[in-house]
Amino acid sequence: MTMQSTSPSLTITPNKNIKVIKRDGNLAPLDVSKIREVVNWACEGMEANPITLEAGLTTRLRHGVTTREIQDNLINCALELCSPSDPNWRYVAGRLQIWSLWKDTLVRRGYEYGDYCRTVHNKVEQGQYDVRILTYTAEELQEAGSWINPEWDKDYDYAGAVLLNKRYLLTDELPQEALLTCALLLAIVEKPENRLFWARKFYQAIAQRKVSLATPILANLRIPHGSLSSCFITAMDDNLESIFDTIKDAARISKNGGGVGTNVSRVRSTGSWVMGKQNTSGGVIPWIKLLNDTAIAVNQGGRRAGAITVSLDVWHLDVPEFLEMQTENGDQRRKAYDIFPQLVIPDEFMRRVISREDWTLVDPYEVREKLGIELATTWGESFESVYQKIEANLDTEITLYKKVNARDLFKLIMRSQVETGMPYLWFKDTSNRANPNQHEGYIPGGNLCQESWSNVKPGEEAHTCNLDSLNLANIEREELPEVCEIAVRMLDNTIEITNTPFEASKNHNQKYRTIGVGAMGLADWLAKNRLTYNHLNEISHLFEDIGFYCTKTSMELAKERGYYPAFKGSAWSQGKLIGAKPVEWFLQHAAQKERWQQLSLDIQQYGIRNSHITAIAPNTSSSLVQGCTASILPCYSRFFYDKWAKGTVPIAPPFLQDHFWFYPENKSLNQQIVVKAVATVQKWIDTGISMELMFNLNEGVYFPDEPDRAIKAKDIFDTLILAWQEGCKAVYYVRTVQRDSFKEADDGCVACAN
């Protein structure tokens, strides 16, 4: 940001007859100097002229106006001044929002920053803070309080300041107090002589927005008995006890603010047998509807509706109805509008889609009873072998089935995606090949945001993962080793202090110690370095470093604390590294080869602390608090207004003013470029990446030389196929930018407006 020179006198003319109502309710004469002080403070260090801001306020002053109204008017003036050519006004509005928070807190509790120890004891007494914060002595809390830097509150733009206050801060709590308390609690599992050392590192990393804590950690860590894990995956077995236990577990997860993934592929299909009677089963839809209603009823403590993704293998006989359960037509008793459908896709299906072969939908119960095969647990070559056996026994052993053309089924999937954004696609074989714990089971499907998963056993082990993210917009390359170490260490500590919502989650947490260090702000990092999403080598080198430093830290933690209990027999124990790939792959593809060879040897000797270490979440809301672009995707638009309850809010990336042309807009970017960039990153990420695809349906966007040509269904089809071929593990939402009409595509599929 460019420094602003000293400004001339401001424009408000004092009026002795005007009295204002202060925040404590008292009446006082209007003091123009205080308004000028706030305006100058908010504009300091930015290309934002305080005269311009004050000039917008002059017509709004009146007798009896409250100081809060003046502050809000200043905020509105700053927001109105914000534009693509002058985006810094949103930071001015953010500072004014923070100033208002400071003053409200001062009135309510009698002080702002400066007495952290008092704040802690008061909030423990009020039941707002977890009593574990008192692990620290008064002297230690006083020392920790001296680390607080109120200047860091000035770094938030308006969207970030509002979200931080609304979603994360407790009553009468200031931002740096919240972040410091989180840091101290994350450090309580450290050795007593090292607690303050690590707490300070944690605080500085999160307060300077180099590491972003996931919402459950930032929202729940300070409160008593909070659950800190973000991602959960459960699976239903084909019996009533398992089904209702899974629904109960989903409710417990939702209560604590976690995202739920539930696989239902083992449940018998519509028309299957129940108690020996054929054509009795109602299939998976009634149970999905119960999950749907659970998400509505258990609304994450009133913060937002529960969120559940239900995954179903694409060979299941109920797949066609699964694709229709969010449409308006049909029996409303078999609709589920509030869950997020996900299809589990094996390689064999994708091959048949490409070659236009038939695909057989079957009932898992009949396959289990007649052939002794639990089809849901198979993947890769094992799946292909048993699937061929099933197809060889059609009409003899297997009577409940339906043959469809794989390409036609994929078109139905695509149509649903373009109309609703879903179903998500989770590539089962790609994900399970990268699973380091194949010796202990398999992964049935993806989580809610399609970036985190591991082994699941119905009723025994429910995937549980703790997340944070590196903010690449605020990290210099030389800082990466230390910041990665901090991010991994914080999450490993989180496993020790979280309250898991049910027993299967606790079992998984202790056995696999799954964490997910993610990344946000890649678009900002590229812009800052004057690079684009076509610079795949530079992207690869960046994430090679991230993958290496995070994996190395987990190995060092194993030296210090021991390896995860399921380590022996894992791919890690065999010298394989990220994605269960042999070390030879790293010697062939890495920019710095020798370090990977040594890391492989070290892990075989010392073990590794966490079975999964990296996963890139969507970070849509938290990126606003972090002041960067979400995840690793391009920004939707360089500058736009988002509609909030309080009106429209300007959204822009941090380096827009100086690097405008290095921010490609995702709404008009060829998505095959995005797929190739995500696939490049995926090579160095051991779990998954939330990859949203965005297709603009308007003419001339992707084909500037052909102004009348719009994207066709075949273009979307080719992009989805490319995602699978390039090794992406999942496709999250498919977004569309609308157009007024749509035409029949060349291959017979319809490209529909969202």
- Bridge partners (DSSP) listed for residue 341: 310
CB 128 within 8 A of CB 45: no
Active-site annotation holds for 474: no
Q: How far apart are CA 427 and CA 439, in angstroms?
A: 20
Residue 2 in tokens: 């460019």
* Full DSSP string of 669-690: S-HHHHHHHHHHHHTT-SS-B-
**How are beta strands 424-427 and 27-29 bridged, if at all?**
unpaired
Q: Give the DSSP letter of residue 292.
A: H
Residue 307 in tokens: 């969120």
- Bridge partners (DSSP) listed for residue 309: 261, 340
**How are beta strands 259-263 and 231-235 bridged, if at all?**
parallel
Q: Is 409 helix (H, G, I), strand (E, B) or coil?
A: helix
- Which one of 49, 165, 435, 447 is the catalytic residue? 447
Closest to 675 measured CA to CA, from 623, 715, 627, 711: 715
Residue 584 in tokens: 């030879």
Closest to 366 measured CA to CA, from 276, 246, 235: 276
Q: Give the DSSP letter of residue 751.
A: -
* Full DSSP string of 248-303: HHHHHHHHTT-EEEEE-TTSPPBT--BTTBTT--B-SHHHHHHHHHHHHHS-GGGT
Label residue 753 exposed, middle or buried (CB < 10 Å: 0-12, 13-18, 19+).
Answer: middle
Q: How far apart are CA 706 and CA 128, in angstroms?
A: 61
Q: What are phi and psi of 380, to 5 degrees?
A: 65, -140
Q: How far apart are CA 366 and CA 368, in angstroms?
A: 5
Active-site annotation holds for 447: yes
* Tokens 């009553």, residue located: 171
- Name the packing angle between helices 89-109 and 67-81 (round to 10°): 160
For 158, 240, 300, 485, 644, the CA distances from 304, given in Å and listed in that order, are: 22, 29, 6, 33, 15
Residue 661: which region, alpha, beta or left (left: phi > 0; alpha: psi -120 to 50)? alpha
- Which one of 54, 451, 461, 485 is the catalytic residue? 451
- Which one of 43, 82, 182, 449 is the catalytic residue? 449
* Full DSSP string of 138-161: HHHHHHHHTT--GGGGGG--HHHH
CB 446 within 8 A of CB 331: no
Q: How far apart are CA 690 and CA 707, in angstroms?
A: 32
Closest to 734 measured CA to CA, from 381, 423, 430, 279: 423
Residue 448 in tokens: 């809610």
Q: How far apart are CA 438 and CA 453, in angstroms?
A: 13
Closest to 337 measured CA to CA, from 296, 284, 281, 283: 296
Active-site annotation holds for 451: yes
Q: How far apart are CA 314 and CA 376, in angstroms?
A: 10
Residue 483 in tokens: 């910041």
Q: How far apart are CA 32 and CA 555, in angstroms?
A: 60
Q: What contacts 365, CB < 8 A, 6 or more positions away? A: 238, 268, 269, 272, 273, 281
CB 256 within 8 A of CB 269: no
Report the first-to-last Cα separation within the chain, whole angstroms. 39
Q: How far apart are CA 629 and CA 523, in angstroms?
A: 6
Q: How far apart are CA 518 and CA 749, in angstroms?
A: 36
Q: How far apart are CA 246 and CA 264, in angstroms?
A: 10
Write out the catalytic residue numbers: 447, 449, 451
